[in-house]
Amino acid sequence: MKYLITGGAGFIGSNFIHYLFAKYPDCEITNLDKLTYAGNLDNLKEFETKPRYKFVKGDIGDENLVDGLVANCDIIVNFAAESHVDRSILGPKEFVQTNVVGTQNLLEAAVKHKKRFHHISTDEVFGSLPLNSVEKFTAQTPYDPSSPYSASKAASDHLVRSYARTFGLQATITNCSNNYGPYQFIEKLIPLMYINAKLGKKLPVYGNGSNVRDWIHVEDHNAGVDVVLGKGKIGETYLLGGNAEKSNLEVVKTILKLMGKDDSLIEFVKDRPGHDLRYAIDSSQTEKELGWTRKHDFESGMRDTIAWYDAHEDWWRKLLSKDYLQYYEQQYKGR
Ligand code: NAD
Ligand code: TYD
């Protein structure tokens, strides 16, 4: 199988490439990635000289480049995106450009060359659930995005479905909950809190920390994507969740406990505008139809993740660059 993976130098995409080569050593992978601030070739060092792996630096919005790459693959798995909610609040334009326009460009090429297309999406397209309710998102939940990020992902999901219905594109979509695990870029909640605690800095928790996310280990997400590629019904949307709803405060306290650090490092800061209260996914349909199950529970998954960041200090220290720190300062200005 010849995969075209977009955004394969990011957090989930690079874990997917590790997953594929471990499970299907004979597969061929082309990784198309623009190498934005979030793309990191250090995530894929061990494949650099592998004949079955090819890296192409480029934009999913580049028509000629994408046309040639799509013509030469069997399947496209689209991870490429601007992915950080806070950045989408500071500057939404790139989110529309990559997540909407870029995805549409991939869809055009997939239709032209009659290729199978899988789109990676998020539970954030469904909006916010009330705190302290038992309601969960299902594939039937109407879209109600809150941030420019989730709105751009919602738009791209609609485009994928429209290309399936209108042009007969062989497409599937997965909407997954919050991921954690190795190689996550350092601006996201879990690595950010880990690094701040390591550096003796305050841990900025938005609002009162009661917002709830459903945390899934990235390997379980990627196993779900692989199952959908193999057994998913064309035209379907599958939900993948961690079955591990935790408030942000619980997550941050878990990290501190695993690191042997004190809760006094926690600092409550001004809330994110439009901050969704709660996400929770009902994955029972995916589990029943496709036999997908999770290998990691939250407690052991977090322990493994903290151990990974401990063992890969060079990896994350390299990312504490000037560019990133500038963003970080801008983000917390006035909080
Ligand atoms: P990430 O920000 O770590 O990685 C994104 C990658 O896409 C980077 O390598 C970046 O260089 C690349 N990229 C950005 N714009 C590009 C463009 N125009 N052309 C080519 N490459 C480009 O993101 P992630 O957390 O790995 O998320 C991957 C996908 O999974 C996204 O589509 C995201 O919406 C989705 N998702 C993420 C989560 C999560 O918890 N992180 C949960 C559900 C779904
Ligand atoms: P994040 O990792 O940005 O993912 P998302 O917004 O896509 O869910 O944030 C996860 C949760 O953690 C979210 O409710 C916002 C919160 N958060 C903080 O409280 N402090 C922080 O510094 C960050 C980055 C996030």
Q: Is residue 289 part of a domain?
A: yes
Give the pLDDT confidence score for residue 93 in this predicted structure: 98
* Residue ranges making up the domain that contains 120: 2-184+216-243+278-296
* Tokens describing residue 30: 């082309």
Q: How far is CA 24 from CA 70, 155, 185, 276, in A?
A: 21, 32, 26, 38
Q: Is residue 10 part of a domain?
A: yes
Quote the CA–CA distance of 197 and 250 in Å, as a whole number: 15
φ and ψ of 244, to 5 deg: -145, 75
Find the length of the chain: 335
Q: Is residue 306 part of a domain?
A: no
* Tokens describing residue 317: 């220290």
Give the pLDDT confidence score for residue 321 in this predicted structure: 80
* Tokens describing residue 214: 């459903």
- Residue among 33, 124, 187, 220 flagged as catalytic: 124
Cα R_g (the chain), whole angstroms:
19
* Tokens describing residue 102: 């870029």
Task: Give the residues of the chain that fall short of pLDDT 70.
Answer: 322, 332-335
Q: Is residue 36 part of a domain?
A: yes
What is the number of domains present in the chain? 1
* 281-304 residue pLDDT tens: 999 999 999 999 999 999 999 999
* Tokens describing residue 35: 């190498």
Give the pLDDT confidence score for residue 329 in this predicted structure: 73
CB 10 within 8 A of CB 53: no
The closest of 87, 45, 30 to 183, measured between CA atoms, is: 45
Give the pLDDT confidence score for residue 333 in this predicted structure: 65
Q: Is residue 268 part of a domain?
A: no
Test site for ligand 2: of 147, 213, 253, most ligand atoms within 8 A of the Cβ: 213
Q: What is the CATH number of the domain that holds 27?
A: 3.40.50.720
pTM of the predicted structure, to 2 decimals: 0.98
- What DSSP letter does each residue of 83-114 carry, written as one string? --HHHHHH--HHHIIIIIIIHHHHHHHHHHTT
* Tokens describing residue 294: 């999770």
User: Which residue's alpha carbon is at the smallest distance from atom 4 of ligand 1?
Assistant: 10
Q: Is residue 221 part of a domain?
A: yes
Q: Is residue 84 part of a domain?
A: yes
* Tokens describing residue 268: 């409550």
Q: Is residue 205 part of a domain?
A: no
Q: Is the CB of 316 under 6 A from ligand 2?
A: no
Give the pLDDT confidence score for residue 281 in this predicted structure: 98
CB 106 within 8 A of CB 66: yes
User: Which residue's alpha carbon is at the smallest distance from atom 41 of ligand 1?
Assistant: 179
262 C-alpha to ligand 1 centroid (Å):
32
